[in-house]
Amino acid sequence: MKSTLATLFSLLSIFFITSCSSRQENDNTSLTFGCFLNSPKYQKELQALLQEFEKNEGIKVEMIGLNWSDGKTKLISAYNAGTQPDIVELGSDWVAQFSGGGVLEPLSRDEIQTKRFLENALAPSKWGDSMYAVPWVLSTRILFINRQLCKKAGIADSTVPNTISDLKQYASAITNVASAGEYGIGIISQDAHQVYKRVLPIFWSNSGDILDKKGNPTFDLPQNIDALQQYVSLVPFGIIESSKQLDDKFIKGKLGFWVSGPWLLEKIPQLNPNLQFSLGLVPGIHSGGGLSFTGGDYLCISKSSKNRAKSLKLIQFLTSSKSTLRLCKLSITAGIPADTSAQSDPFFSSINGFPVFIEQLKKSRLSSVHPKWLDIEAAYELAVSQAVYGTKSATEALHEAQTSVTSLLLH
């Protein structure tokens, strides 16, 4: 497992940003922090938090800004070159690759303060018998419902589909009365890193998954085939496009149902304030609702850091409910604090519909923890695309994915 990340490091020669070189001259009163900066406003608030920490603890923190387009590559290059920061921010689906590569410092449950978090939020922290990451902020996806199209189709205002069968019924009703350019539901197929976040939860809701607890592929289980068939059954009542295009269509009032994130809740009032819509939990295969995907940002300590205790102190400060709330209150899209005590803050209930996101977090999961997850994800998304476009049946597509991933994991 450790060779997976080491091999990847050896293939990369991109130099990390020069400020990271100061890492080697680090003394006992300074830390380097590699973090992702989402906006100038976010950067300013994060810098203020770090200054507060510096003042209280007497520990200087150098913030090394990254962006989501190439930040992971730069971090890998930094580890390869030995210029890695003391503390790194990682996306939830990256942690396994880094922890499995042996470059992160193990943390105890007491050090992580695990009682602050939902157990599902801790899943990416674990690798083997150890834990390596502290949850910081989370996000999830819920069902957006166009009430104008529902009314046009004779669907009552209070109606929220509870199952995929309900969803198909209501999407069909909208399709039957739709004007040109209107659709019952958005279908996602060929959109890297977006398909599994919306389709894999249907598998989970049907007691399925594409990896077992030991990391072995389980793509073509009967419950997975059934779940993919049910997703494909929605295709006649929708339009197949990318997540961004489907977000745009919902904002314009052209989609009846669409699963999306908090950024859509922020955009609708700005771009189409007259749109009548509501929010609901993601439907499941069976009654009682379904599971959704959750992802987020996690903080880790580099194994080579000479300042483990001070790094942990900074991580505990930043992931505290008070600090995380300061960042999350900047924007709906900043995320939801992973610390559950912060999730009940009145700020979130003051945003129309936002409590549904908090509720959905309790019925959400993260993708499987595996160092080769990105390759596994690609095989899964190909299978979904083949089934959606009808080039293969759900059974054929998932069997082919099972064969290819089994081969991948043998090498």
CATH superfamily, region 142-293+370-410 = Periplasmic binding protein-like II (3.40.190.10)
Is the per-residue pLDDT at 24 higher than 80? no
Amino acid sitting at position 292: S
Residues in contact with 51: Cβ distance below 8 Å, sequence separation at least 6, in sequence order: none
User: What pLDDT sits at residue 28?
Assistant: 60
3-class SS of residue 125: helix
User: What pLDDT sits at residue 38?
Assistant: 80
pLDDT in tens, 194-203: 999 999 999 9
**60 vs 58: CA distance, rounded Å:** 7
Is the per-residue pLDDT at 379 higher than 60? yes
**CB–CB of 318/327 below 8 Å?**
no
pLDDT band with cut points at 50, 70 and 90 for residue 148: very high
User: What pLDDT sits at residue 154?
Assistant: 97
User: What pLDDT sits at residue 367?
Assistant: 83
Dihedral sign computed on CA atoms, order 366, 37, 348, 184 = negative
CA distances from 208 to 12, 301, 362, 381, 399 (A): 36, 33, 18, 16, 15
- Kindly report the pTM of this predicted structure: 0.88
CATH of 2-140+295-365, one of 3.30.1300.10, 1.10.730.10, 3.40.50.720, 3.40.190.10: 3.40.190.10
**171 vs 159: CA distance, rounded Å:** 12
- Cβ burial, residue 395 (10 Å; 0-12/13-18/19+): middle
Q: Answer whether 2-140+295-365 and 142-293+370-410 agree in fold.
A: yes
Average pLDDT over residues 179-183: 97
Burial 312-349 (b: 16+ CB within 10 A, else e): bbbbbbbbbbebbbbbbebebbbbbbbbbebbebeebe
**CB–CB of 296/122 below 8 Å?**
no
Region of residue 230 (phi > 0: left; psi between -120 and 50: alpha; otherwise: beta) = alpha
**365 vs 213: CA distance, rounded Å:** 14
User: What pLDDT sits at residue 286?
Assistant: 87
Average pLDDT over residues 319-337: 95
Is the per-residue pLDDT at 10 higher than 80? no
pLDDT in tens, 267-307: 999 999 999 999 999 999 988 789 999 999 999 999 999 99
Task: Find tokens 């800004």 and name the residue.
Answer: 65
**169 vs 241: CA distance, rounded Å:** 21
* Least confident stretch, 14-23, 74-83, 153-162, 255-264: 14-23
3-class SS of residue 60: strand
Average pLDDT, the chain: 91
Residues in contact with 242: Cβ distance below 8 Å, sequence separation at least 6, in sequence order: 188, 190, 191, 194
3-class SS of residue 49: helix
**164 vs 170: CA distance, rounded Å:** 10
pLDDT in tens, 70-127: 998 999 999 999 999 999 999 998 898 899 899 999 999 999 999 999 999 999 999 8
The structural domains of the chain, with segments of one domain joined by +, span 2-140+295-365, 142-293+370-410
